[in-house]
Chain A
């Protein structure tokens, strides 16, 4: 085993205090926010700059030891689980915002900068970075890039890949390469290819991200429904009317209860579904859109529609939505949050199926959804002390994802494949599709050391590693 030698080399190229290898200190890196699979890494390293990242990659490449880049570790699909004795490479110390340039409409940030830190740095400039995943308080730009993170506002503004102009990446051979940010007339979009590759195509060290002008005004509404179908019908009707809201978020009765316990926002616990609808834009057009939306909500049977009176109330509404998933900790000792997507018009169908699957597997499932995108997040509750419950919960999750595929959708909209869903890739894609991805990844990672066993199913690496802990 060449590992002691590797650790010695890593300590040499970094410094001894930036290489963790004592078992007691490695335990915290067993998993990310997906806790079903846990594995112990060989070491954890803390490089300070791209050159050090490159040095670590080179050391691991020489020994064919897998390497896993990690930021805040908020991933929900186990993308950071160190299977096969991987070395975890922490990007948390690359945490500077290097440039904010309004005229070029971009910011240059290091990979370890938390999304919210960038948001705060932009406050008052009139611009913002549009992707706002619910984890944005902690998750890093590098992590957002790796998973092509979304969030509630993707309906109008798109996901991370639509907001990345360029990347500096350390590839699997240790070379530091830069793609973008100035797009040539006919140059292919290589940075766009790397976005969403979950660390398989290089370790992102810097990103040039697009800055979006702040909307002139927001109107945020909360509509309450006596049944879920009416809420989903509203979503379809609004889109059919040619309105693209900034966000349309759905929460069902189960999650509303948890949110109320956590934040006492004043949602009725009797409501079967709540929609949060936000429109933004210049003031003149908003009045008409607001009237249309109120009309459509009423037509679809909303019991009550409340408009946020001020920014504080808007913030509170969004806080509640964004913290909703975490509030589930109040309902159950363990859960996992699924992430599936169906064509928007299939939303009523998939929500019905979720209820059926929950009943059939005797698990409780509560729902939040980026309804405007057809992106459902069924949250499956279980007690991790009971292996039987865990098995039923996993089975329910699997059935739901297969249903998403059957509807023409995808097994993940924004969380990524990670280790959790890699077996589903061959259900969603044909062998030739996966082969094309595989070949593309090989170009960037010739020695197959960058997060192997994640995202793509056709490797021997990590075989069986997707199994839950015993």
Chain B
């Protein structure tokens, strides 16, 4: 996990806290942690939740000013990107000299809109909680997240079980968190591969590209399995067919271009370098007659999924299977 120097521990009660990010679960947690911290100091704390576009500078100033009887208050300002210029000024000014007994939580989804507010609050010394969505490729961060979840629920998880769980549940943090706490309570602490398998089956987030990759490398069983998962989770037929075609044509083009530096080849073929590199590896399993057949096959299935075949799923399954078969044949020749 990358170091997050600016993140203050969530438990601490801060006069001004800025929650930046669009991952709903993390935002909710940061906000409720702030409220819990305030309640710990004063159980009768008043909590006010408002949307930034619904308030004026005057209302805001009133909310954050000290109350007559020194009652404490938590003000949660949501959708801070919609704050107008006046509200932004009041917020930034307030952050420089916050009132005792008032905890202000500003929720901003990140991005360019309303960036002045974010920058202003940071500069004024507000505590920042990051709640950005994890990028699709940040699997390590997701794994860390799950491990932390499980530890906080009072359990542990083996590496194998962790991989299985992430494969089955997918990338959604909310679902991962729910699954993690459920698994800990079901297994009574230590989560292993068997207990994951008992409750989670199958795979989420299988794309057409995963199917195509397996098919062109000759892994028939794997490709068919991935295809079923992809179709079950609602990947459109056309996307799978396009991915199959794209995989085959990339191999055909790369092997036609001959050997050479992948970078130069990539710019000549107008493809990203990683794709060319991968295709160079896959191309070793293919010969010219196999590729000719495969090109015809993917062109046919492209028509099939657009209404020519009576059953698009079957057409895809047959094409995937034949493609894997062709890859295998080419390899044996």
Please say whether chains A and B are actual partners in one complex: no
A residues with a Cβ closer than 8 A to B are none
Q: What is the interface of chain B, defined by CB distance below 8 A to chain A?
A: none
